Amino acid sequence: MGAPASLEDQVLEVGRDLAAALPSAARRPLRALDDRAMDLATQDAELRAALFRFVDVVPACRGVDDLARHLTSFLGEVGDHPPPIAAAMRVSGTKAGRAALGTAAAAGVRHMAHRFIVGETPERAAKVITGLWDRGIATSVDLLGEATVTRAEADAYAARCAAALDALHRVHAPLPARSALEQDGLGPIARVNLSVKVSALTPLLKPEAPELGKRDAATRLRDLLRRARDQGAHLHVDMESLDSREAVTDLVLELLAEPEFAEGPSAGVVLQAYLRDSPDLARRLVRFAGETQRAHPLLVRLVKGAYWDHEVVEARQHGWSEPVFTVKAQSDANFEALTRLLLEARAAGTPLRPAIASHNLRSVAHAVACSRALGLDDQDLELQVLRGLGDDLQDALATRGLRVRTYCPVGDLVAGMAYLVRRLLEGTSNESFLHERASGVPLDELLAPPA
């Protein structure tokens, strides 16, 4: 069922206004080069696959010669080379050529990584965080690293998270007050916002034994919740692939309902709209927010979902029906339905903070228009983007006085490789909004309702 005409008009108006506020490509010449490289990869599926495999092995490479060997061997499997790649292949025949190629390749990967990763440590990310705050943009810091294998790794990740909370507290304490980022109709909003992954807090998160993983992660997550509460920080739990969704959701909601966390911290979970059964989880979250006596509203970050390829492959391997929508427009339409569901709960007085996380101008414009149509104030809606993919949108939203939070990954290249590959996959997917926009699809087509 389509939205009423007046809401559609509003979506168009908000979307056109945001589009007018997007910075022009000329202001970011280096970004245009990256986009060109991404474009090359989008046009050629084999090249795309080869580059992803290369990015995966970069951290394990012993030196530039090794890097060049891997790069040329992956690229060697690609049928026809576009001219820049053919030139690279030609120089790889000599040791000196391989060294030059390896150095260039390593620099390229590092450059790409810096687009998405703000620093190796929270201290090194301080300049970016402070700069964004000065421009009216809040952040959520994500410590890179996922899927730990041993308890020692999980302990180390938990310790890094605890240290990050302390460091972020020091970074944010001297920042000037910004009421638009620190207050909404439900009360104060924490300055420090840390995103964590449960798969990094325990090596035991297995679908066949969810209780074991939950119990093991609970001890580490409980400590982080205590620390966040004592410092007045927000702790957000990211969502990963479907096989851990139930354990992660149960774990977070059970801990937040414990009496010791009634007064804090502010905390949140993630809802993935590409999952066919996501409306059930959305209703559960709304019920939890309404029924659980907590001093802080539950923050629900609505996303489409970053593990689409994984979920499809996994289901097909087992002969299961796909748990995700397989037509992109269905994910987009469900995203809008869930946006409305969360905003309606908020408008009805449920202590819940919807955070709409998307780089899709249509999805974002729909959220803003829907929120206004429900009589909510703009400050009651949070919009979120990823560093590196949503920089232009982030600036446009801040220019228009909307509250925007940028998700800023922190960590080294090795820890960041899985993250980087997911972002590259997104950036080079033919179906992604960003790709459609970059390929010149007219604005009103981009803003049309998902069909």
Q: Which residues bind ligand FAD (CB under 6 A)?
A: 238-239, 270, 272, 274, 301, 303-308, 324-328, 330-331, 357-360, 363, 384-386, 390, 407, 426, 431-433
From CA 140, how far away is CA 267, in angstroms rounded? 12
From CA 379, how far away is CA 368, in angstroms rounded? 10
Rank residues 91 and 312 by Cβ distance to ligand FAD and give the closer one: 312
Residue 174 CB, nearest distance to ligand FAD (Å)? 25
Residue 435 CB, nearest distance to ligand FAD (Å)? 8
Rank residues 150 and 317 by Cβ distance to ligand FAD and give the closer one: 317
Rank residues 70 and 197 by Cβ distance to ligand FAD and give the closer one: 197
CB 280, CB 246: distance < 8 Å: no
**Which among 274, 260, 334, 226 is positioned nearest to 1, based on CA atoms?**
334
CB 174, CB 129: distance < 8 Å: no
**Which among 322, 334, 262, 332 is positioned nearest to 298, based on CA atoms?**
262
Residue 113 CB, nearest distance to ligand FAD (Å)? 18
From CA 379, how far away is CA 375, in angstroms rounded? 12
CA atoms within 13 A on the CB side of 376: 28
Q: Which residues pair with 405 in a beta bridge?
A: 138, 384
Residue 35 CB, nearest distance to ligand FAD (Å)? 15
Rank residues 73 and 330 by Cβ distance to ligand FAD and give the closer one: 330
CA atoms within 13 A on the CB side of 377: 8
DSSP state of 27: G
Question: How far is Cα of residue 389 from the mean position of the Cα atoms in its chain?
Answer: 9
Rank residues 74 and 307 by Cβ distance to ligand FAD and give the closer one: 307
Residue 251 CB, nearest distance to ligand FAD (Å)? 15
From CA 108, how far away is CA 112, in angstroms rounded? 6
Residue 425 CB, nearest distance to ligand FAD (Å)? 9
Residue 86 CB, nearest distance to ligand FAD (Å)? 31
Rank residues 330 and 399 by Cβ distance to ligand FAD and give the closer one: 330
| Terminal alpha carbon distance of the chain | 10
Residue 322 CB, nearest distance to ligand FAD (Å)? 9
Rank residues 54 and 419 by Cβ distance to ligand FAD and give the closer one: 419
- 448, exposed or middle or buried, with CB in 10 Å at 0-12, 13-18, 19+? middle
Residue 78 structure tokens: 């690609």
Q: Please state, as a whole number, how many other Cβ atoms lie within 10 Å of the Cβ of residue 4.
A: 10
From CA 215, how far away is CA 202, in angstroms rounded? 9
Element spanning 183, H or E: strand 183-184
Residue 293 CB, nearest distance to ligand FAD (Å)? 26
Q: Say which residues have a Cβ less than 8 Å from residue 233's Cβ, sequence separation at least 6.
A: 165, 168, 169, 190, 191, 192, 193, 194, 227, 265, 266
Rank residues 350 and 384 by Cβ distance to ligand FAD and give the closer one: 384
Residue 423 CB, nearest distance to ligand FAD (Å)? 9
Rank residues 180 and 425 by Cβ distance to ligand FAD and give the closer one: 425
Rank residues 101 and 393 by Cβ distance to ligand FAD and give the closer one: 393
